[in-house]
Amino acid sequence: MVLFLQIRIGLNNMIKLPVYLDNNATTKVDPRVLETMIPFFTEDFGNAASRNHPFGWKAEEAVDYAREQIAALIGANEKEIIFTSGATESNNLALKGVFEMYAEKGKHIITAVTEHKAILDTCKHLEKQGAEITYLHPAENGLLTVAQVEEVIRPDTILVTIMFGNNEIGVLQPIREIAAVCKKHGVLFHSDATQAVGKIPVDVMADNIDLMSFTAHKMYGPKGIGALYVRRKNPRVKVTAQMDGGGHERGMRSGTLNVPGIVGFGKAAELARLEMQTDTNRIIKMRDRLENSLLTLEESYLNGSKEHRLPHTTNISFKYVEGEGLMMAIKDIAVSSGSACTSASLEPSYVLKSLGLDDELAHSSLRFGLSRYTTDEEIDFTIKCVTDAVNRLRDMSPLWEMFKEGIDLKSVQWTEH
């Protein structure tokens, strides 16, 4: 395969292909993170629960330190961090754990249709267990309003779960306002902050968040380690364990701790806390340049709110270009398209559809996710590659020709097949 080759662009700047712009899916592990992890595989491999020897003590000490690093990033107390295998598990533990723990209060949960599958599928599971779920629909720009949430709170509402930043379009919900309304009504508030933590300032105290899911691999840490923040004061929140066993993590999540992963997560959190601002300043400039250039193409549209957005994400649709053909044309760039590949058929993204995009436009959208490793040269290359691809495919597209002739495509009698 000709996947990894070097190309020369500009003067002497070599870039490695394909260009990786899928950082909302996962990020590269920062070498500084990897370095801190390695001794915990080799020398200091102890079980953090081993109380009788230095191997265990060393591991426990490292875990404690990482817990502090992670807590510091989100303004929490270290006792409020429950380690899990990732945000999927954290979401499961938060929703199922609250549903079971607060069953006496009620069984109503509020969420939104644009949430990650780890929330939506957990909600579906809970519906089978008797939960009543209200799914809010955001506006065309992907935003929910506080009023929308408050309107549907009932006396038996036990939890509101709304994501911080959306993984596909990057839209940031008014979390602080929504959380305040929940507090006012005495309802617990959970946020899937997987895409936000480490990228923008998140403070569980200032934001009034009761439970929060996040994961290391979206912030230059390793895969397979995440956390659930569980508030200990005002109010003291409890979740029923979903994994029974040795009673680790204050009984909320049993299982031998993934010490190297936790150490790496801690280091990644510390780096994020210290470097977030400088990273963001650079990334947002590149993101805006990419976005503005691609939006100069005719009939290209930005998906989701431009203002309320994660700094590293942009999602753009190119009308009259077919999604799969587009992906093939830009194989030198690793991005996600608006199609979720479910076995053989391509399903248009439910997030984009919920914003009112039709299937075609959803399929022809690209999500770009930048990182601290993204370079200006990579952005130059991406702009050129996508622009050329869109132009070339449009030159080949009968729909583009018809559009240019002023034919209303909705009036055409298409033959189904």
Partner 1 sequence: MAYSEKVIDHYSNPRNVGTLDKGSPNVGTGLVGAPECGDVMRLQIQVNPETGVIEDARFKTFGCGSAIASSSLATEWLKGKSVDQALTIDNMDIVEELALPPVKIHCSVLAEDAIRAAINDYRVKQGLEPIAEEKSHH
Distance (Å) of CA 288 to CA 1, 140, 313: 32, 21, 9
Compose the 112-151 pattern: x for residues touching partner 1 by CB under 8 A, - for all others: ----------------------------------------
Number of residues that bind ligand PLP (CB under 6 A): 12
Q: Is 173 in the site for ligand PLP (CB under 6 A)?
A: no
Residue 360 interacts with, from partner 1, ligand PLP, none (CB under 5-8 Å by kind): partner 1
Q: Is 88 in the site for ligand PLP (CB under 6 A)?
A: yes
Indicate if 341 belongs to the active site.
yes
Across 94-210, the runs of DSSP E, i.e. the strands, are 108-112, 132-136, 157-161, 188-192
Distance (Å) of CA 261 to CA 46, 130, 198, 225: 13, 36, 16, 6
The answer for residues whose C-beta is within 8 angstroms of residue 288's C-beta and 6 or more apart is none
Q: Give the residue at shortest CB distance from ligand PLP.
A: 86
Among 36, 134, 157, 195, binds ligand PLP (CB under 6 A): 195
Interface stretch with partner 1, choices 91-99, 168-176, 248-256, 398-406 (CB under 8 A):
398-406
Contact criterion met (CB below 8 Å) for 400 and 298: no
| C-alpha span between 399 and 291 (Å, rounded) | 24
- Shorter beta-carbon distance to partner 1: residue 5 or 11: 5
DSSP assignment, residue 115? Answer: S
Q: Is 215 in the site for ligand PLP (CB under 6 A)?
A: yes
| C-alpha span between 119 and 123 (Å, rounded) | 6
Q: Is 63 in the site for ligand PLP (CB under 6 A)?
A: no
Compose the 302-341 pattern: x for residues touching ligand PLP by CB under 6 A, - for all others: ----------------------------------------
Residue 194 interacts with, from ligand PLP, partner 1, none (CB under 5-8 Å by kind): ligand PLP
Shortest Å distance, C-beta 222 to ligand PLP: 11
Among 83, 265, 318, 320, binds partner 1 (CB under 8 A): 320
Residue 208 interacts with, from ligand PLP, partner 1, none (CB under 5-8 Å by kind): none
| C-alpha span between 258 and 224 (Å, rounded) | 9
What backbone torsions phi and psi does residue 191 show, to the nearest 5 degrees? -130, 135
Structure tokens at 260: 């190297």
Buried b (16+ CB within 10 A) or exposed e, 323-337: beebbebbebbbbbb
Peptide linkage before 222 cis (omega within 30 of 0): no
Interface stretch with ligand PLP, choices 97-105, 148-156, 187-195, 310-318 (CB under 6 A):
187-195
Considering 123, 182, 341, 385, which one is annotated as catalytic? Answer: 341
Length of the chain (residues): 417
Q: Is 36 in the site for ligand PLP (CB under 6 A)?
A: no
Contacts (CB under 6 A) with ligand PLP, residues 114-153: 116, 118
Q: Is 388 in the site for partner 1 (CB under 8 A)?
A: no
- Which residue, 163, 207, 152, is CA-closest to 185? 152
Residue 118 interacts with, from ligand PLP, partner 1, none (CB under 5-8 Å by kind): ligand PLP
| C-alpha span between 216 and 201 (Å, rounded) | 16
Helix ranges (H only) for 301-396 are: 323-329, 350-354, 359-363, 376-395
The catalytic site residues sit at: 341
- Residues of this chain that interact with partner 1 (CB under 8 A) are 320-325, 328, 344-346, 358-360, 363, 395-401, 409, 412, 414-417
- Residues of this chain that interact with ligand PLP (CB under 6 A) are 86-88, 116, 118, 163, 167, 192, 194-195, 215, 226
